[in-house]
Amino acid sequence: MGKYVMALDRDTNMDFDSLRGLLATASHPLNKPYYDSRKGRVVSGYGIFSPTVSVSLFSGMKTLFSSVFTESGTNHYISFVSERNQDFFGEGIFSGKGLIDTEMFDKVCGDRFDKGRILSHDILEGSVLRTCFCPDAGITDSFPSSPKSWFLRLHRWIRGD
């Protein structure tokens, strides 16, 4: 298994050179994750590196619905260019897309959580591994083109898929 894995969705595209930036940030000695066995989590450094997520231009302009939602600021990805948690608390929030340290993930999460008992794993993984928000690295994601597809995606997210 490799040192890192990049978690992306099928409809996600990575900006040019973003992976290199995430790897460079992850390789910096001050960002190396330190695992505290008493606490069962990373207490300094980071195990996850999250890029800025924005809506792809094509999907944002595809329909009137997507155009209104991506321009009005109601899409949470558009405002995800500055992570207040990172600024105030020294760690960000994992949104399910990013570079993950596989060795640390296995060490911290491994068999720790019961299968089928956690609905949304992103926030849990981000909190025990610590997430570093990397605003200089970017990815683009598609936006639903209709209210029905938007609600279906919201339902999946609420369920934890």
The pTM of the whole model exceeds 0.85: no
Contact 138, 51 (CB under 8 A): yes
Mean pLDDT of the chain: 83
Is 50 exceeded by the pLDDT of residue 83? yes
How many Cβ atoms are within 10 Å of 158's Cβ, its own excluded? 10
The predicted-structure confidence for 35-81, as pLDDT tens digits, reads as follows 999 999 999 999 999 998 888 888 888 888 888 887 744 455 544 44
Which of 55, 66, 53 shows the shortest CA–CA distance to 144? 66
Give dist(CA 132, CA 98) in Å, integer. Answer: 10
Indicate the helix (H) or strand (E) that contains 49: strand 48-55
| Alpha helix positions (H), 10-140 | 18-27, 57-60, 64-72, 84-89, 102-108, 121-129
CA angle 66, 139, 153 (to 5 degrees): 45
Q: What is the pLDDT of residue 76?
A: 53
